[in-house]
Structure 1
């Protein structure tokens, strides 16, 4: 929803989703597929599933129609063929092959790499090492090294927000988790600087513009942290999003801010007059519920719903 707000939504009618939201949907589906593969076969390759998911996304967009050979329900969502926005860095990266952290295919440093990886935060409680590894792999598939640590830290922030329900506590927990996990300290310093700015001069569009002057992964991470901490309460959610819209790259900062405050306070805290009009809301809601279900511990010690053949078929796992 944050990405929609950052695009200056019209006052009435359905609101078109953004391309980063599309990519996040495919990340969520890839994460579920990897989990199912590991349960059903004992092996799963998150990087390969993410790469194939982004390639399917690109094929649908280039063809202007849904897949003729769908592997999961997401491949048949017609709305994915109607987004006018572009994701040049992602498309260019996919054309160059599958990048890795050791061998990236581009030097792109845009915020799409960060936002599209956020669904992986749901996996943190189950397997934090795998979740962080998948986050970095997600960025490295199409983007350059300057996105790797901000993406990992953004996923940690989203996971801590889900767990703590309080942006202030979440940021502190994410910084600790990042240090313990070996996330590049430059990204930790970005978040720490935003924390200091929010304490010293909260809710200032001037401070936000200075701290997040463009749409790089690091700048958007700074901006979203600043906005979330400037208005950390549930009642301040709308104000945090309104502040995010004043950033130079409003879509990026708004997308990440919306994800963080939404994770902390729940979807009911978000502006309902916008949330209920987003055209992709049903798809996002269904994926979010499925992702949560797949990362839930069952009473018998197993995870997810892999025992259900209909669930496996839903995500193209035989």
Structure 2
């Protein structure tokens, strides 16, 4: 199997490195890189081939992992699926619910694997939180807070909801196996009037309320989940993969930190080899796009 990584910015290079390691271990046959910027292509090591052209990449690869900007996700994935190439598309799947469901339908028609890159559902710490939630470890959950913040310049073609909300929303869906019934969102721009740069979303789930804080202007980088329950509460660091428990007789919870990009890549390869696409299918990605599209109408 030959894997192509399309888009070799900072995230794409990390993704490429994991596929290169898997190739070196004999899991795949080759890994090729694609970017329209020759400088990005020159910055990667260990590629079996590099291309500036999408068409050449699709001819060389059996499957592609797309790490380009949000606006380009739909046309690239559509072209790849039409060329009978399996696709793992970074979040968000698209910036429009109609396009998202069109990709799902196209993948089904062509008999191809299409996955959405919601990498945190592959983190051992998030999987542990789901197990604890299923076991009633927290008791009745009163509310959940997620903080997804960092400081960056406004990104063309997107806003803070499309850029940052997909991960918290997917974590909530993964843990609770549910989608919000209602949403209230407050947000604003700071530096550019055409870009929402911070927002707070209150999401009503059947079992609890979730508050999600998003920011492109906060100098503190956070990827944090806090669960407040009747029996126990916990602060979960989603990148460091730690769980700090408080409440009645809290027990220490050890989590073995894993390489989430590698685990996601292995899942993609396994789905292609087996035809089983149940864990991270594009349906999840399309539903996430659907919810964010709806949430946009609720911004105050």
- Is TM more than 0.5 here? no
Higher relative contact order (CA 8 A, sep 6+): 1
Structure with the larger helix share: 1
Greater strand fraction, Structure 1 or Structure 2: 2
